[in-house]
Chain A
Amino acid sequence: MTLESRAVTGGVVVGDFRRFLGLTWTLAVTDWKLRFYGSVLGYVWQLARPFAFFGVIYVVFTQIVDLGDQIKNYGVYILFALVLFNFFAEVTNGCVRSLVARENLLRKISFPRLAIPMSVTLTGLFNLGGTLLAVFIFAVGSGVYPDPGWLELVPLVVLLALFSSGVGMLLSVLFVRYRDIEPIWEVLTQILFYASPVLYVSTLVDECCQRPYTSNPLAAIMTEMRHAIVDSSAPDVVTALGGTVRLLIPLGIILGAFALGLWAFNREAPRIAEHL
């Protein structure tokens, strides 16, 4: 046995990766349980929000704006896009306060700090899984049947989770220093909501702006999701971007956001307990 250097613990995942995984899982499961505890209708309530919102949107856009006829399976698209965007919004906004909310842990015990934002992402994934089940049923009921293309949802969700957790990590450490991150990010989330094809589809965006528009990772994911799940005649993300090479832009933003978030988080992690 040799003297172990204590310089690396506290922040980085290296060394006790298993503990990190166990911790992330435990924190996520606990959050999930707490949300539904004591309420048999918990799952139903979890679904109520996106579905109620969807109902309003659907009525407005099909009956009033009259988009329903132009876009194939418009209702199914909105629902999928809404659920995916909700995941992004839930994870990033949940991460903002995550470190401050876990202050009692951070100040009293040494553990891989990364488990905190990661557990928020994991809880988000649990919720997403639960909601998607209901969405699948709705899709089949609306005449959109599963085909092998649906498998593309897996890499799409992975990319979305990477993007969300990357942004989340960055926000969580920023919030420790700047408390107005919370309202700022809420506004930015709203802007992103309308800047991404959630209520409409990306093909409705003017021809000239297609490329820059689809460079937004959320727009790219939604576009590809539409092609893979809702309407195979709709353009896929490569077509929308105008070339495979251009796919590197949204991919780069996703991976860049994750790398930046991880770097910022690990930079701050060792001293996070002192700054709270």
Chain B
Amino acid sequence: MQLDLRSQARERRAAHEAAPVAVSVEGAYKTFRIPHQQFHTFKERALHPFRSRTYDAFHAMNDISIHVPRGEFFGIVGRNGSGKSTLLKCIAGIYQLDRGTIGVEGRLSPFIELGVGFNPDLAAEDNVIINAVMMGLSRSEARRRFEDIVAFAELEEFVDLKLKNYSSGMAVRLGFAVATQVDADVLLVDEVLAVGDASFQQKCFEVFQRLKDEGKTILFVTHDMGLVERFCDRAMLLERGQMLSIGEPHEIGLLYNQVNFGELVHGAPAGEAASGQRPVEIRTCRAEVGGEHVSDLPHGESLEVVYEVLFGERIEDPVFGVSLRNDMGQTVFASTTQWSHPETGVFEPGETITVRVQLDAWFASGRYRMTPSVARRGSGADTLDLREDMASFILHSTRSSGGMIDPPHRFDIERARVSAG
């Protein structure tokens, strides 16, 4: 099954390679100058005409080259400040390159964020029109599509309300609804899914899937490796303005985690120095049954995933998480404390704690690998430490159902009563 998926991906990539290029970036450089002394007024300029204008150069992009074929879903990942958004802004034409060229074939969506131009003092219709005109629709087109937009955002009852009376989720829905109406061949998407509730996110995913099926080209910036693996055909990893790697989403995801946790910074060996500076370090991870470390367990047993965390700095209310993956690489279980324990407490440097996750092992038989994680307070995207497949256990079962999970269940067979009347 896994082989199947891989070969499908290969075919898809081969098809893309044959497709014409939709976005090409060639040797792109972008440097921001951060002056040591800011001159913001004529007065200062006039009083200190000879004061030197020294500055620090911040290299946001260093020789970035990408070729995205038409119809590809291309992920751009990297840590904060790695140059992801700068790249997107350069492609959108918001920033100018210092050196290099950018070519875009087809209509490019000019926005990288939702709801640009929304004004809190105006009602939905005015805001939709401003936003749609900003994105390149004509006023009449925008007005014609207004009904559809509001219907998609599920805000029919609230059209007359000023935007300031909307909840943030409602405003985001409206923004996303407008964005889906933009007829672009190439879309640039910067972390749109960081907000919104679960059902809205699901709706976004459906739109992404539809766009993907329609053969639109999408450049997608995110921190969420799950989304990259789910949607992207290829992904690129940026680090300090350099392109570290470009390739299959899963590999990029693994590499991202390595970079994120200091094991691969500019080829530096994973040394003591790096690990010593970590804000959080997951030391060990194991499966336990009844307080005993086990490497295998029977189906249905009450299982505990246990991991030890060492804090290197003071962290408030971190989000602890764990996921289990089967041999196929499918995530069969994933959970975090984000919803169940929003306040996990304050941890001081040097403190070691043990996290225990209890669950009943109602999975099919096979090997399961455990991925523990610790993230900063918030959505859980800002990971502090994450150890992919850190440890594993084998689950054995007396029967093989063929299903991925095998929870307690019951059959009732009721025979329809034949009335003798």
- Residues on B with beta carbons closer than 8 Å to the beta carbon of A205: none
What CA separation (Å) do A23 and B135 show in the bound complex?
Answer: 10
Pair A179/B41 contact, Cβ less than 8 Å:
yes
Q: Which of B112-120, B273-281, B289-297 touches A? A: B112-120
Supply 14 A–B pairs (Cβ within 8 Å), ascending by A: A23-B133, A26-B130, A27-B130, A33-B122, A34-B119, A107-B94, A109-B94, A110-B93, A110-B111, A111-B110, A178-B41, A180-B43, A273-B95, A274-B96
Is A232 an interface residue when CB atoms closer than 8 A count as contact? no
Query: Scoring A residues 33 to 66 as 1 if CB is less than 8 Å from chain B, else 0, what string do you get?
Result: 1100100000000000000000000000000000
Beta-carbon contacts under 8 Å, B86-102 to A: 89, 91-96, 102
Query: Scoring B residues 70 to 85 as 1 if CB is less than 8 Å from chain A, else 0, what string do you get?
Result: 0000000000000000
Is B42 an interface residue when CB atoms closer than 8 A count as contact? yes
Q: How far is the CB of A184 from chain B (nearest CB, A)?
A: 7
Neighbour of B102 across the interface among A6, A18, A181, A270, CB < 8 A: A6
Is B126 an interface residue when CB atoms closer than 8 A count as contact? yes
Is A10 an interface residue when CB atoms closer than 8 A count as contact? yes
Neighbour of B121 across the interface among A18, A37, A109, CB < 8 A: A37
- Residues on B with beta carbons closer than 8 Å to the beta carbon of A4: 103-105
Pair B93/A22 contact, Cβ less than 8 Å:
no
Is A19 an interface residue when CB atoms closer than 8 A count as contact? yes
Query: Scoring A residues 175 to 204 as 1 if CB is less than 8 Å from chain B, else 0, what string do you get?
Result: 001111100100000000000000000000
Pair B117/A105 contact, Cβ less than 8 Å:
yes
Secondary structure of the A contact surface, majority rule? helix
A-side interface size class: 35 or more
Is B287 an interface residue when CB atoms closer than 8 A count as contact? no
Neighbour of A33 across the interface among B105, B126, B134, CB < 8 A: B126
Is A104 an interface residue when CB atoms closer than 8 A count as contact? yes
- Residues on B with beta carbons closer than 8 Å to the beta carbon of A37: 121-122
Q: Which residues of B contact A (CB under 8 A)?
A: 24, 32, 40-43, 45, 89, 91-96, 102-106, 110-113, 116-117, 119, 121-122, 126, 129-130, 133-136, 138-139
Is A239 an interface residue when CB atoms closer than 8 A count as contact? no
Pair B119/A5 contact, Cβ less than 8 Å:
no
Beta-carbon contacts under 8 Å, A59-100 to B: none
What CA separation (Å) do A193 and B259 show in the bound complex?
Answer: 63
Pair A1/B96 contact, Cβ less than 8 Å:
no
Pair A179/B40 contact, Cβ less than 8 Å:
yes
Neighbour of A109 across the interface among B103, B105, B135, CB < 8 A: B135
Neighbour of B138 across the interface among A22, A110, A111, A271, CB < 8 A: A22
Pair A274/B95 contact, Cβ less than 8 Å:
yes
Q: A109-B110, A181-B42, A274-B32 are in contact. Are A30 and B103 (CB under 8 A)?
A: no
Identity of the chain A residue whose Cβ is nearest the Cβ of B110 in the assembled complex:
A110
Pair B133/A108 contact, Cβ less than 8 Å:
no
Identity of the chain A residue whose Cβ is nearest the Cβ of B111 in the assembled complex:
A109
Would you list the 6 A-B pairs with minimal beta carbon distance, nearest first? A110-B93, A3-B103, A180-B41, A110-B110, A10-B93, A26-B133
Pair A108/B42 contact, Cβ less than 8 Å:
no
Identity of the chain B residue whose Cβ is nearest the Cβ of A30 in the assembled complex:
B130
Is A216 an interface residue when CB atoms closer than 8 A count as contact? no
- Residues on B with beta carbons closer than 8 Å to the beta carbon of A105: 116-117, 134
Neighbour of B116 across the interface among A18, A23, A109, CB < 8 A: A109
What CA separation (Å) do A110 and B129 show in the bound complex?
Answer: 17
Q: How far is the CB of B375 from chain A (nearest CB, A)?
A: 27
- Residues on B with beta carbons closer than 8 Å to the beta carbon of A27: 130
Is A25 an interface residue when CB atoms closer than 8 A count as contact? yes
Pair A109/B138 contact, Cβ less than 8 Å:
no
Q: A25-B139, A274-B32 are in contact. Are A108 and B105 (CB under 8 A)?
A: no
Q: How far is the CB of A208 from chain B (nearest CB, A)?
A: 34
Q: How far is the CB of A13 from chain B (nearest CB, A)?
A: 14
Neighbour of A26 across the interface among B41, B93, B110, B139, CB < 8 A: B139
Identity of the chain A residue whose Cβ is nearest the Cβ of B102 in the assembled complex:
A6
Q: A109-B92, A109-B110, A111-B110 are in contact. Are A18 and B138 (CB under 8 A)?
A: yes
- Residues on B with beta carbons closer than 8 Å to the beta carbon of A25: 139
- Residues on B with beta carbons closer than 8 Å to the beta carbon of A107: 89, 94
Pair B92/A178 contact, Cβ less than 8 Å:
no
Pair B41/A108 contact, Cβ less than 8 Å:
no
Is A210 an interface residue when CB atoms closer than 8 A count as contact? no
Query: Scoring A residues 157 to 185 as 1 if CB is less than 8 Å from chain B, else 0, what string do you get?
Result: 00000000000000000000111110010
Pair B42/A110 contact, Cβ less than 8 Å:
no
What CA separation (Å) do A18 and B135 show in the bound complex?
Answer: 13
What CA separation (Å) do A10 and B117 show in the bound complex?
Answer: 17
Pair B96/A108 contact, Cβ less than 8 Å:
no
